[in-house]
Amino acid sequence: MNLPNKLTILRVIMVPFFIWAFLKEEYLIAMLVFCLASVTDALDGQIARKRNLVTNFGKIMDPLADKILVYSALCLFLQIDIIKGWMLIVILAREFIVAGMRTVAASEGRVLAAGMSGKLKTVLQMVGVIIMMLGLAMPEQSGILIVGSLIFFASIIMAVYSGCEYVFKNRDVFSM
């Protein structure tokens, strides 16, 4: 297994530690674990492209690892009423559509890689989560939570846009 794929697996392994810290209300520790896991996302892609180590495993597991990390945070935010249920539903609906298309394509031997708008959506989600956790860690600075929420809301808009773009670019999957 190459280094980028190991970093992807490490990101998944870090999720329970993030969840544990969050549930213990150690928001600063949770934020640091989340940040470190997010850095592995940037590193694995850079290393894979630079060293020509792009694999089908990485194309599939890298976005899945991102989702496991980000959506665990969103579920925790939902639990403490930092986000609303409809927000998570919109994001998950986009992900189920994309995952369904990838599954159909994979059954025909095709791998549909993530597009740039989907990557931007993920970055906005990660940055929004990090800033919102910083706001939880520093409740006396209420503006931080508001900024994080605005960035997260932008990620919802990008989720809808990137989902529509993905469906349009890969619409031939529907005729398989």
pLDDT value at residue 26: 97
pLDDT value at residue 1: 87
pLDDT value at residue 106: 82
pLDDT value at residue 167: 93
pLDDT value at residue 122: 87
pLDDT value at residue 5: 93
pLDDT value at residue 59: 77
CA angle 11, 54, 40 (to 5 degrees): 20
Please give the distance of CA 41 from its chain centroid, rounded to a whole number: 9
Spans in the chain with pLDDT lower than 50? none
Q: Please report which residue ranges of the chain form alpha helices under DSSP H.
A: 3-23, 27-50, 56-79, 85-107, 116-137, 142-169
pLDDT value at residue 96: 93
pLDDT value at residue 130: 95
Domain 3-175, CATH among 3.90.180.10, 1.20.120.1760, 3.10.20.90, 3.30.70.890: 1.20.120.1760
pLDDT value at residue 115: 85
pLDDT value at residue 137: 94
Collapsing DSSP states into helix, strand and coil, what is residue 81?
A: coil
